[in-house]
Amino acid sequence: MTDSAPSSGQEDESDSRSARGVYGISVTAELSGLGPQTLRLYERHGLLAPRRTEGGTRRYSDDDLATLQRITELTDDGVNLAAVARILELEARNAELEADNAKLEADNAALKSKNTRPR
């Protein structure tokens, strides 16, 4: 449900800074205000997918922290975890569609500009 895919081994150099798994579970728990067991529960429900070191240690990213904040907002509003998963999925899909639309609009504007220039 998140942009952070689980991985083993070294981080890819092309990873954005916000997607790099740098925080251990205890630091993430402290930063998010959630307990380690809650973080594990969210992972089991597919709401989070922290990176993993070669030894299997969870590494959370800034993106994961943002996701945790969104999960907390939704659960504080009374949304159950199954619905949270669906909302996160739909929000991610919406963001993809908005990015695709922006690119298409830019491409369309470039084509119009090219076709209206005097020769």
**pLDDT tens for residues 93-102?**
999 999 999 9
Rounded to whole angstroms, how far apart are CA atoms 73 and 94? 19
- Phi first, then psi, for residue 102 (nearest 5°) are -60, -40
Question: How confident is residue 119, by pLDDT bands cut at 50, 70 and 90?
Answer: low
Res 115: pLDDT:
83
Distance of CA 61 to the CA centre of its chain: 9
**Opening angle at CA 63, ends 57 and 65, nearest 5:** 75
Domain extent, residue 99, equals 17-116
C-alpha separations of 1 from 13, 79, 83, 114 in Å? 22, 16, 12, 40
Res 15: pLDDT:
62
CATH assignment at residue 108? 1.10.1660.10
* 8 Å CB contact between 56 and 24: no
- 88 in any annotated domain: yes
Across 100-113, average pLDDT? 94
Between residues 17 and 80, which one has the greater pLDDT?
A: 80
Which pTM was predicted? Answer: 0.75
